[in-house]
Structure 1
Amino acid sequence: MTSTQTNRRVVVLTGASSGIGRAAAHELAARGHTVVLAARRAESLAALARELDPSGLRVLAVPTDVTDDASRRALIETARDHFGRVDVLVNNAGITVERGWWWDDPDPLRVLRVNLEAPVELTRLVLPEMRERRSGHIVNIGSVAGRAATHGMYSASKFGLRGFSLGLRRELLGTGVTVSLIAPGFVRSEMTASARLPMPGPEVVARAVADVLDHPRREVIVPSPYRVLAFLEYVFPKLGDRVARRVIYRRYGHEKG
């Protein structure tokens, strides 16, 4: 068996039907991994699976609502039934409050359920087999908003996911199970469609996801210029206040009293 073959893994990827998830699905499949695609949009998911692997042998679409416990369990059980194990869990599904202030949203806590609770619960489902096998990888897709906060509810979810990822990594030291956090800045996706910023495509994040499977890292910030932003937020938080005030005013200024 070649080294390339031994490095192929069974990867469960949430939020796979669009944006970063779709790009990650393409990258992981191109590198020879077996991919279980999870998202709510069944038709888009099935079409992506056919596109990536017409044979249906290495890519499986499993319509999933990550906020529903039964749906999460069905996803992991289906992956095991088809491929025997789960080597990697990529918690990519994420949402934000897209318009207005979070406190005006009728269900602002849904952001926490999708972005934080779902990764925790899915991780809990795959950890026993990974720890028993002494092999596995949890990859959480965070955000630079988990370093530099501008949106209360979204940043709360991403700060929480960062803390969960870094803490879990230490809890699992010596077990053979690895935890990585990928923290994107602005990249083109449905979530950033209204942002007026120059942005790279989601492929930059997809490559980072695939790369940490071969070269594990604790935390990766992409694109690279956002590493400077994270540093400045830590060293000069008042500068961050000024930038945030301008950004928030441009987006919501007409609503301010």
Structure 2
Amino acid sequence: MYVLVIGAACTLTLKNRMGWRKILAVGLLIGVAAVAWEWKSSVNIEEFYKGKRVVLTGASKGIGKSLAIQLSKRGAKLVIAARTVQKLADTQSECLKNTPHVHTVRADVSKEEDCRAIVDKAVEEFGGVDILILNAAYSPNPQWFSDYEKPAEKFSSVLGVNLLQSVQLVHFSLSHLNKSQGIIVPVSSGAGIAAIPKVSAYATSKHALHGYFKALNQEFILTNTPVSITIMPLPYVLTETAVTNWKPIGTGDGITAEDCADRMLHGIPKRQLWYYVDWTLWFMGHVYSLYPEFFDVFTRLHLSRTSYLFS
């Protein structure tokens, strides 16, 4: 699919400058290069995660729970965190069927001391961190900004989870990730790419998340920091929260949490700055910057049918 999109983009860009034969030749070369890159960057994930020390937030349900279970099946050593003790214990029980190396931390990731406790647990139990997956998120029910009674409080609570958890957890784990040449995985959304109405607080947090990690990636390159960042904007995933928040969509347009987790785990070893688990987000991520007005108009006209892009 990616190769087809690349070829189409190439055709649109070059059609007024080159003949069709040259266009096809260039498209073919790009397609071959894309396939070669995918083949070269492919990793045996069954082996990759064995013994990896993984910190995972938002692990009590949905995507986080699926990630934890699949990581445990692949032999990872896990520190999982969430606010709800019983649901977190349920996730741990499922993971313990596959590996004894699963530890929990009851944590509110908007709080500095809780973020410190998560990293301290990984260091205490495993001696460090190899992969930091920032999955915890707060997604309020969609509503118009004009209907917020106390918008500053709403924005503060959303940013506290969706942005500041990343700042805190990266701060506390960076020295350990540096030693292990580790990977940071910010879990994001299409709402961090396009302009989405009725989710202004959530969209703001995801745009800010992208800005933070793009800047941090530049710093890592300039300072020769051997830590990779892989930003993962997700499509509409059929979790309890997403289905509740986006009832007009129905249940046929998304992917399951299990499928999403599997795609994410295939992407992490590639160490790409951006990794899209779904072609729709790949397309939007590459084209929105060129034609934002088109996407904005399309979103306004078809919000109930396109919101699956913006989980």
* TM, length-normalised to structure 2: 0.73
In structure 2, distance between residues paired with 1:105 and 1:83: 45
In structure 1, distance between residues paired with 2:304 and 2:258: 30
Contact 1:182–1:208 (8 Å) recurs in 2: no
The residue number in structure 2 matching 1:189 is: 239
Aligned match of 2:228 in 178, 200, 204? 178
Contact 2:264–2:277 (8 Å) recurs in 1: no
1:84 aligns with 2:139: no
Contact 1:10–1:88 (8 Å) recurs in 2: yes
Contact 2:213–2:229 (8 Å) recurs in 1: yes
Deviation at 1:34, TM superposition (A): 0.9
SS of alignment partner, residue 242 of structure 2: coil
Aligned match of 1:211 in 266, 277, 282? 266
Decide which structure has greater strand share. Answer: 1
Aligned match of 1:229 in 263, 280, 284? 284
The residue type equivalent to 2:277 in the other structure is: V
Structure 2 unaligned regions, length at least 5: 1-45, 306-311
In structure 1, distance between residues paired with 2:167 and 2:213: 9
Q: How does 1:62-73 map to 2 (within 5 A)?
A: 62-73=105-116
Computing the radius of gyration over CA atoms, which structure comes out larger, 1 or 2? 2
Deviation at 1:146, TM superposition (A): 1.1
Contact 1:98–1:191 (8 Å) recurs in 2: no
In structure 2, distance between residues paired with 1:208 and 1:169: 23
SS of alignment partner, residue 12 of structure 1: strand
* TM, length-normalised to structure 1: 0.87
Structure 1 unaligned regions, length at least 5: 251-257
The residue number in structure 2 matching 1:11 is: 54
The residue number in structure 1 matching 2:70 is: 27
In structure 2, distance between residues paired with 1:105 and 1:184: 29
1:147 aligns with 2:202: no
Deviation at 1:244, TM superposition (A): 2.5
Pick closer, same or farther for the CA change 1:237–1:15 going to 2, 3 Å: same
1:128 aligns with 2:175: yes
In structure 1, distance between residues paired with 2:292 and 2:210: 19
The residue type equivalent to 1:161 in the other structure is: L
Deviation at 1:189, TM superposition (A): 1.4
The count of aligned residue pairs is 248
CA distances 1:125-144 after superposition (whole Å, capped 9, x unpaired)? 0012222x152111100111
Pick closer, same or farther for the CA change 1:228–1:56 going to 2, 3 Å: closer
The residue number in structure 1 matching 2:211 is: 163
1:97 aligns with 2:140: yes
Pick closer, same or farther for the CA change 1:56–1:202 going to 2, 3 Å: closer
In structure 1, distance between residues paired with 2:282 and 2:127: 38
Pick closer, same or farther for the CA change 1:215–1:99 going to 2, 3 Å: closer
In structure 2, distance between residues paired with 1:28 and 1:105: 41
Deviation at 1:209, TM superposition (A): 3.0
